Amino acid sequence: MSHIDRERATCEFLQNEDYLFSNNEYCDVEFDKSFCWYNVTRGETLFRQCPFQFCLSIEGCAEIAASLQVHRTCHLNGTWGAPNYDGCIEILGNYKQCFAGFCNGCPDPLRQTVMAVTMCLSVMSVAVLVGALVLFSFFDSLQCRRLSIHKNLATAFVFRFAVLAIWNAASSSHWFYDCTEFNQKPLYHIEWMCKGILWLFMYFQVASVMWMFIEGAYLYSRFTLVAMRSAEPPSWLFQTVGWGVPFVSVMSWTYVHERVSRQNANSFCWLPYAEGPHLWILTGTMGVALLMNLMFLFLIVLILVQKLHSGNTDTKIIWKTVKATFLLVPLLGVSNFPLFYEPDHRSGAYMLISAILQHSQGIFIAVLYCFLNSEVQLAVKRQVAKLPYRFLRHTYFETQRTYVPDSGTVNTRHGIPMEQLEGNSDSQSQRSTTGDPSAN
């Protein structure tokens, strides 16, 4: 309920209870379209705080809210004087930082921290994932079915975090609202753009989860009898599951949510979009995929432990293998399971942990699938070795080293010309065949 509605309701209630302020000591209850004036004895003046949401955490704003107020006098004859709003007008003109309005809200350190973490991790994820895609696409020797899945997963996350960064920037900068008035007004003529950004974000969010499911299924197939078969599933099947299923899911949600939104005259840009039972069209799709990945992870660990125990492997190797398998938790999206339960009162710790878990996945994928991949590292080293620049070659550092041998280390090869080395080797071979008298 807004401030004006609350004040009007108060006046209507008090006017129906005539016995409260019906004697000759008070002025009658009256509503001036902003405040409900009551309980003021004749000859007195009532001061009330301006109808703003003051940001009392900002230095000096509490004093301004207390000093610049609206007031109205109840005359001795029982009539009201005109309300004086000069203090509120001065606040509107000179102290806009002290109240929420004109698309600006009061400072919220927790929200600002979460937004900063989200934006920072999103930009970092896009940067490292683009780098990983460049490396994946540059080297022909790396191309295979497994790498194709990695590239699709990285692409889904790149667009997911890029669109999320655009959405956060649009929300914080109020691209789709008119902020020239105290109460912001939606710009309905560009609502289609707002809906388009939101739709793309939700599509790539579901697509990234589906490609994580494909990663889990393909990895599990490498540990089972499926890996012994020569034929692999066709590429179009992966593309259908990774890109087609999210499209069907998001379009189904869009159809239902659009019908629900039209029933609300004040709805704009599908907001709030994360409400309603039809949200399960999206969360159900992602939940099933993540649940399957959790099952794949459990089966992979079970297979590894069985193989290690059957071979009487050292405990250290088993522990190393299990630790390496736990790295699959962020890669397969299993860390998102706690986010499916959202408490009614979200604490600061929950919001911060949620932001870190959701928006650091791109970094994990790029680092573990690409930058720490031994095949990628080997391909990069081979490419660097082909470069004509001497300072990139390892031999450059060896040839630039100056070493003067001591008398006791004359036989070392460092610092000795090639001719002398060849002469020494020839003489040594002759001595070994004819026999060295000094050796006897």
Q: What is the pLDDT of residues 323-355, one digit of tens each?
A: 666 666 666 776 666 666 666 677 778 888 888
What is the residue whose two structure tokens read 């089972």?
A: 224
C-alpha–C-alpha distance, residues 370 and 24, integer Å: 84
Task: State pLDDT tens for residues 418-437.
Answer: 444 444 444 444 444 444 44
Q: In terms of DSSP H, where are the helices of 139-190? A: 145-173
Q: Which of 66, 82, 100 is the last residue of a domain?
A: 100
Length of the chain: 440
Say if 427 falls within a structural domain. Answer: no
Whether 85 is covered by a domain: the verdict is yes
Do 80 and 152 lie in one domain? The reply is: no
Is residue 12 situated within a structural domain? yes
Range of lowest pLDDT (33-37, 261-265, 426-430): 426-430
Question: Which CATH number does the domain housing residue 135 bear?
Answer: 1.20.1070.10
Report residue 4 as tokens.
């004006």
3-state helix vs strand vs coil in the chain, percent to 5: 65, 5, 30
Q: Distance (Å, rounded) from C-alpha 154 to C-alpha 364?
A: 11
Q: What is the pLDDT of residues 183-227, one digit of tens each?
A: 888 999 999 999 999 999 999 999 999 998 998 888 888 777 555
Shared domain for 82 and 131, answered yes or no, is no
Domain edge (last residue) among 71, 100, 129 = 100
Number of domains in the chain: 2
Instruction: Check whether residue 306 and residue 340 sit in a common domain.
Output: yes
Within 13 Å of residue 394, how many CA atoms lie on the same side as its CB? 4
Does residue 94 sit in the same domain as residue 120?
no
Q: How far apart are CA 204 and CA 400, in angstroms?
A: 52
Q: Pick the range with the lowest mean pLDDT from 176-185, 246-255, 374-383, 429-438.
A: 429-438
Query: Do residues 58 and 123 share a domain?
Result: no
- The pLDDT score that the predictor gives to residue 123 is 92
C-alpha to C-alpha distance for 90 and 112, rounded to whole angstroms: 29
214 with 233, same domain: the answer is yes
Domain boundary residue among 43, 72, 100? 100
How confident is the model at residue 147, as a pLDDT? 84
Same domain flag for 77 and 148 = no
Q: Which two tokens stand for residue 278?
A: 């039809």
Closest to 194 measured CA to CA, from 141, 261, 243: 261
Amino acid at 178: D
- Say if residue 184 is in the same domain as residue 313: yes
pTM: 0.74
For 107-150, the pLDDT digits (tens) are 888 888 988 999 999 999 999 999 999 888 887 777 777 888 88
Query: What are the tokens at 106?
Result: 């009061």
Strand partners, 48: 70
Q: What type of residue sits at position 288?
A: V
Taking a C-beta distance cutoff of 8 angstroms, is the pair 109, 76 a contact?
no
Residue 170 lies in a domain: yes
Q: Would you state the pLDDT for residue 409?
A: 43
Determine which helix (DSSP H) or strand (DSSP E) holds 223, and give its type and residue range: none
Distance CA 292, CA 285 (A): 11
Q: Is the pLDDT of residue 176 over 70?
A: yes
CB burial class (10 A; 0-12, 13-18, 19+) of residue 262? exposed
Q: Are residues 65 and 195 in the same domain?
A: no
Q: Which domain covers residue 8, as residue numbers?
A: 3-100
Q: Assess whether 211 and 294 both reside in one domain.
A: yes
Q: 118 and 66: one domain? A: no
Inter-residue contact 250 to 163 (CB < 8 Å): no
pLDDT of residue 256: 93
Instruction: Give the C-alpha separation, 55 to 114, whole Å.
Output: 20
Residue 9 CA, chain-centre distance (Å), reads 43
Determine, yes or no, domain membership for 118: yes
